Amino acid sequence: MSTPFAPDHDPFALSEVEVRAPGAALAARPSTSLRTNGVRVASLLAILSMVATQVQAERPACIPHHDMRTLIRLALPDAVEALVQRCRPALAADAFLPNEGIGLANRYRAEAPVDPAAARQAIQEATGQNLAGFASDDTIRTLARQFVGQQIEDHVPLKDCEKIDSMAEIAGNLRADGMAEAILLALEVAGPGRVKGLAVCPPKGEGAEP
C-alpha cells in the first residue's frame, strides 16, 4: 500500500509525456498568464527540460541526511495542504483534515521555515542537477511545492484517506521539526528498497547494507 511517507514509486521519475514535452502542462495555461509571467515560465521550462534529460542519467543513489531533512521541512506544509484537497471528498464532514488541515500546514510553515539557499542545495542533491543560474530560489521552491501536490494527487488512493486523516490528527500534536524528524527516521528504517528516490545516505564511516 502506498503512503505519502513510504512511496513505492520513484518520486523524481518523469512520465513519458514530461520527457517528450516537459513544457506541455505550462503551455496549456491561459496566454495572458504566459505573457505576464514570461520570465517565470521560461525559468520553469528551463528546469523541466533540464530535469527531463536526467531520466537518461544516473541520479544520486541516496540523499545526504541534512539535505533530506531540508526537503522534508520544505515539503511538509504543502503535503498537508495537498492531502486536504485530495482527501476532502472521501472524508466525513467532522474529520481532521477538512477542518484542521490548513491550520496545521500554516503552523508547520511558521514553525520550520526553510532557507531558500538550503532548499536549492537539497533539491540539487535529490536530482543530481546543478540548478545554479536556471531560476530564482523562490521559483525552485514553487516548482518543488507543485511537484509535491501532484505526487499526492497521483499516488494517494482515496481509500487510504481515513488512515491518513488519523495519522494527520496524531501529527497535529507534534511541532514541525519533530514531525520532520519522525519522517526522516521512517525513511531510514524503511531502507532504500522501499523508498525509491528517497534513500537517505548512511552516516560517514558506515557502509551500505550487504
pLDDT digits (tens, 9 = 90+) for 157-197: 999 999 999 999 998 999 999 999 998 888 888 877 777 66
What are the φ and ψ backbone dihedral angles of 29, each rounded to 5 degrees?
Answer: -75, 160
What are the φ and ψ backbone dihedral angles of 63, each rounded to 5 degrees?
Answer: -115, 130
Domain residue spans of the chain: 16-194
Cell numbers describing residue 176: 514541525
* Intra-chain end-to-end CA distance of the chain, in Å: 26
Average pLDDT over residues 83-109: 96
Q: Is the pLDDT of residue 6 over 50?
A: no
